[in-house]
């Protein structure tokens, strides 16, 4: 298990650079931390057509009964990210949020309705607007951590 909040972005950046993250393997990396309104997203990429793709990465450390949950505490910032992604989709961009679960013993992901029902509802609304949602578990060992398999997402 890992709880380092910086690890997920490093794993996703490496996967994007090596073009091994299947939903994004045909995209060109543009930059990290692109500004948007009063915040930033984690990554911006482009499709061959030039359409912008915004990607937000969330670190998942809470696991119960083989399910990864996010968030583990209420997050106004997380809700704002989802609302901004939905706005960008409606304006013509492609957007996604990737939940990286820093454990190997997880079988699926879902938002944490108990801890932050507003975030869970914002995620449901973002999905209804066209925001893509992905979850990946990690392989963690004393030698290091690597991005693992894509998991089902229950919204």
- Provide the H-helix boundaries in the chain: 7-17, 76-90, 117-129
Does a structural domain hold residue 102? yes
Does a structural domain hold residue 130? yes
Indicate the helix (H) or strand (E) that contains 117.
helix 117-129
Predicted TM-score of the model (pTM): 0.94
Q: What are phi and psi of 105, to 5 degrees?
A: -100, 25
Does a structural domain hold residue 21? no
Best CA proximity match to 31, nearest among 20, 22, 40:
40
In this structure, the number of other CB atoms found within 10 A of the CB of residue 121 comes to 14
Pairwise CA distance, residues 58 & 52, whole Å: 20
Give tens-digit pLDDT for 11-64: 999 999 999 999 999 999 999 999 998 889 999 999 999 999 999 999 999 999
Does a structural domain hold residue 96? yes
Total domains present in the chain:
1
Is residue 115 left, alpha or beta, with left meaning phi > 0 and alpha meaning psi from -120 to 50?
Answer: alpha
Indicate the helix (H) or strand (E) that contains 30.
strand 28-32
Does a structural domain hold residue 129? yes
Averaged confidence pLDDT in the chain:
94
Strands 108-111 and 132-141 turn out to be unpaired
Does a structural domain hold residue 49? no
Domain enclosing residue 146, as ranges: 7-12+54-151
Query: In this structure, what CATH number is given to the domain that contains residue 140?
Result: 3.40.1350.60
Does a structural domain hold residue 121? yes
What pLDDT is stored for residue 1 in this prediction? 52
In this structure, the number of other CB atoms found within 10 A of the CB of residue 98 comes to 25
Does a structural domain hold residue 76? yes
User: What percent of the chain is modeled with pLDDT above 90?
Assistant: 88
Pairwise CA distance, residues 120 & 4, whole Å: 23
């Amino acid at each position: 298990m890992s709880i380092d909040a910086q690890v997920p972005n490093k794993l996703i950046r490496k996967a994007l650079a090596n073009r091994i993250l299947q939903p994004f393997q045909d995209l060109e990396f543009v930059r990290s931390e692109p500004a948007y309104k009063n915040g930033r997203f984690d990554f911006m990429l482009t499709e061959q057509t030039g359409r912008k793709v915004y990607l937000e990465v969330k670190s998942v450390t809470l696991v119960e009964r083989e399910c990864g949950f996010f968030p583990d505490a209420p997050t106004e910032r997380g809700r704002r990210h989802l609302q901004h992604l939905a706005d960008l989709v409606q304006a013509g961009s492609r957007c996604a949020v990737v939940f990286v679960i820093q454990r190997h013993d997880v079988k699926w992901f879902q938002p944490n309705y108990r801890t932050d029902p507003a975030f869970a509802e914002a995620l449901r609304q973002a999905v209804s607007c066209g925001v893509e949602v992905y979850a990946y578990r990690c392989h963690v060992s004393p030698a290091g951590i690597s991005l693992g398999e894509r998991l089902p997402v229950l919204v």
